[in-house]
Amino acid sequence: MESREIGVLGGDPVQEIRLSTPAGAQALVLSYGATLRDLVVPLGDGRTRRVVLGYQSIEAYRHNPCYLGATIGRCANRIADDHFVLDGQTSPLPANSAGGIHLHGGPQGFSRRPWRVVEADQSSVLLALTSEDGDQGYPGRVEVTCRYHLSDSTCLRLEMTGEADAPTLLNLTNHTYFTLADDASADDHFLEIAARFHTPARDTLIPTGEIRFVEGTPYDFRRLRRIGDAKVPYDINFVLDGADGTVRPVARARSPQQDLELEVHTDQPGLLLYTGSALFQAGPGLEGQKHGPGAGFCLETYRFTDSIHQPHFPSVILRPGERYTHRCEYRFNALA
């Protein structure tokens, strides 16, 4: 493990922690936003490949408008109508997206905050953040942690936890953009998702509340297929098969040449597929990476978009004495 200060954002020093394995995998994690800046995996023939999008300049992470690699909270994705009601109390939220929508925890959500490095070693780092009562409009004081662990089997495991001193919302996710080949389009990757249902959304990307079969729609990824075959820009939630709370395989993606595979395992009920239609070059990419539309895709595990307004969706309410837990694993396998 190597930890070093690489700059200052918002008056706070930014630590970069390098995790590595004997097989040649490496991950770079930033204390700012508990962000995955870089991930390189071995291919099995002595070569390695970068599999995420990141910025070369630390300054690009100050606002990080596309949320590259960031930990999102308090509540991932969108909440409609810039407020929610919990136990009869209305909590106004800052609208930071068109149509009065609260996006990714607000303009100063967890992705744009300094986290504390609690502990770190060669293979893992634990980061922590305190979100005070009223932060971005949310009630209650929340203590959250995010641990990154890189194993010899080329698995990057994320473990997120949270506790609150008053009823509030908590729904974390990681917003890494994957690309399993240099300069490859998201559309040219192959994808399979273990989901028989999805939650249709309006033009605002707020779910309608329906839960529909994927069969006969562009959202049917039950068999491995090329993402771009349906010619749809994806930004949609899938209702994952299997028991909520049980870590299980839920998705796999392959590079366009099918020489590298990514498996996603999680204990969460939902997965948001986003193929980067609004992605843009907000700063120089790592070693010249291009960050235009479709340059990467996100596989965000979480508890559904706008769940607080849909009682039949998985609950995002966290009460005192409860503990929020979220586990997600990204496992890489060289196929050739």
Catalytic residue among 175, 189, 265, 326: 175
Give the contacts of 150 (CB within 8 A, at least 6 positions apart).
19, 20, 21, 25, 26, 27, 123, 124, 156, 157
Task: Report the C-alpha gap between 143 and 268 in whole angstroms.
Answer: 20
CA angle 179, 300, 334 (to 5 degrees): 40
Dihedral sign computed on CA atoms, order 102, 278, 240, 159:
negative
Confirm whether residue 78 is marked as ligand binding: yes
Catalytic site includes residue 83: no
Task: Report the C-alpha gap between 275 and 186 in whole angstroms.
Answer: 6
How many CA atoms within 13 Å lie on the side-chain side of 319? 3
Q: Residue 247 corresponds to which tokens in the numbers above?
A: 């870590």
Catalytic residue among 16, 163, 300, 329: 300
Catalytic site includes residue 175: yes
Task: Report the C-alpha gap between 189 and 299 in whole angstroms.
Answer: 13
Task: Report the C-alpha gap between 202 and 194 in whole angstroms.
Answer: 23
Task: Report the C-alpha gap between 68 and 235 in whole angstroms.
Answer: 16
Confirm whether residue 175 is marked as ligand binding: yes
- With tokens 């990757």, the residue in question is 189
Confirm whether residue 176 is marked as ligand binding: yes
The one-letter code for the residue type at 272 is: L
Task: Report the C-alpha gap between 133 and 131 in whole angstroms.
Answer: 7
- 8 A C-beta contact, residue 239 and residue 270: yes
Q: What Rg value do the Cα atoms of the chain yield, rounded?
A: 19
Task: Report the C-alpha gap between 240 and 300 in whole angstroms.
Answer: 12
Confirm whether residue 235 is marked as ligand binding: yes
Confirm whether residue 77 is marked as ligand binding: yes
Q: Is 121 exposed, middle or buried (0-12, 13-18, 19+ CB in 10 A)?
A: exposed
- 8 A C-beta contact, residue 233 and residue 275: yes
- Binding residues for beta-D-galactose, as ranges, are 77-78, 175-177, 235
Binding-site annotation: residue ranges: 77-78, 175-177, 235
Q: Which of the residues are catalytic? A: 175, 300
